[in-house]
């Protein structure tokens, strides 16, 4: 099977074909303590051509230094869904994990989530820094939409 040049081939162990319009969508990390930032919204559409079980999301967050996330301070990585584009209410949290600074900050993380069959139409990633963190807007996270067979 041939794929366009901007896509990769399907990997036998998971989804690998990227959405060429959105993926990867970079978004800058929080500039202050106790704040959140979100990625671009992914719209699965009202009649998406793929079943949610064939779609994975990959959140890639670079390493955060001990200045950005000092020892014992936290950063939370979230992937959530909603039926409304403004995310006025969250229908489901697909992934949420808190990372704590430990001496050298927080290591780089790549997290993958397969969409559930009852996934809402809109999806986004969110990064929330806890108290006493500092500006990490010099680095960006990415959210990729990956399709499998």
Tens-digit pLDDT profile for the chain (149 aa)?
Answer: 343 444 333 344 454 545 545 557 789 999 999 999 999 888 887 765 456 667 889 999 999 999 999 999 999 999 999 999 999 999 999 999 999 999 899 999 999 999 888 888 889 999 999 999 999 999 999 998 887 75
pTM for the predicted model, two decimal places: 0.82
- Rounded CA-CA distance 72/41 in Å is 31
Q: Assign a CATH topology to domain 22-147.
A: Jelly Rolls (2.60.120)
Contact 42, 142 (CB under 8 A): no
Residues 6 or more apart whose CB falls under 8 angstroms from that of 145 comprise 18, 19, 22, 23, 42, 55, 56, 57
Give the CB-side neighbour count of residue 38, counting CA atoms within 13 A. Answer: 12
DSSP assigned state of 104? S
């Amino acid at each position: 099977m041939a794929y366009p040049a901007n896509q990769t081939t399907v990997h036998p162990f998971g989804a690998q074909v990227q959405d060429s319009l959105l993926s990867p969508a970079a978004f800058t990390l929080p500039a202050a303590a106790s704040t959140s930032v979100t990625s671009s919204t992914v719209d699965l559409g009202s009649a998406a051509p793929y079943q949610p079980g064939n779609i994975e999301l990959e959140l890639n967050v670079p390493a955060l230094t001990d200045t950005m996330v000092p020892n014992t301070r936290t950063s939370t990585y979230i992937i959530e869904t909603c039926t409304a584009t403004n995310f006025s209410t969250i229908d489901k949290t697909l992934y949420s994990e808190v990372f704590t600074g430990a001496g050298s900050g927080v290591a780089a993380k790549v997290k993958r989530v397969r969409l559930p069959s009852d996934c809402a139409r809109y999806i986004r990633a969110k990064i929330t820094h806890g108290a006493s963190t500092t500006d990490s807007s010099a680095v960006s996270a990415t959210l990729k939409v990956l399709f499998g067979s």
